[in-house]
Amino acid sequence: MIFLGIDPGTTTVWFALLEKGEKKYTILEYGVIETTPRESIWQKILWIVHDLDMLIQTYQPQVCWIEKLFFMKNVKTGIDVAQARWAVLYTLLSRGIIVKEFTPLQVKQWITGNGNAKKQQIQNAVKMLFWLEEIPKPDDAADALAIAYITAISTQHKKPLYF
Active site residue 22: no
- pLDDT-based confidence at 108, cuts 50/70/90? confident
Q: Is 108 exposed, middle or buried (0-12, 13-18, 19+ CB in 10 A)?
A: buried
Going by the DSSP 8-state scheme, the letter that residue 62 receives in this structure is S
Assess if residue 161 is contained within a domain: no
Active-site position among 34, 39, 101, 140: 140
Of the candidates 7, 51, 80, 143, the residue annotated as catalytic is 7
Give a yes or no: residue 163 inside a domain. no
Which residue, 80, 84, 75, 63, is CA-closest to 14? 84
- Give a yes or no: residue 162 inside a domain: no
Average pLDDT of the residues of the chain? 86
Q: Annotated catalytic, 140?
A: yes
Phi-psi region of 131 (alpha: psi -120 to 50; beta: other; left: phi over 0): left
| Residues 117-148 pLDDT 10s | 998 999 999 999 889 999 887 777 888 898 88
Q: Cα separation of 89 and 141, whole Å?
A: 20
pLDDT digits (tens, 9 = 90+) for 72-104: 567 777 788 888 899 999 999 999 999 988 888
Does a structural domain hold residue 115?
yes
- The number of folded domains in the chain is 1
Is 139 an annotated catalytic residue? no
The answer to whether 144 and 7 have CB atoms below 8 angstroms apart is yes
Instruction: For residue 27, tell me if it sits in a domain.
Output: yes
pTM: 0.86
* Domain harbouring 113, CATH code: 3.30.420.10
Residue 18 resides in a domain: yes
pLDDT at site 63:
92
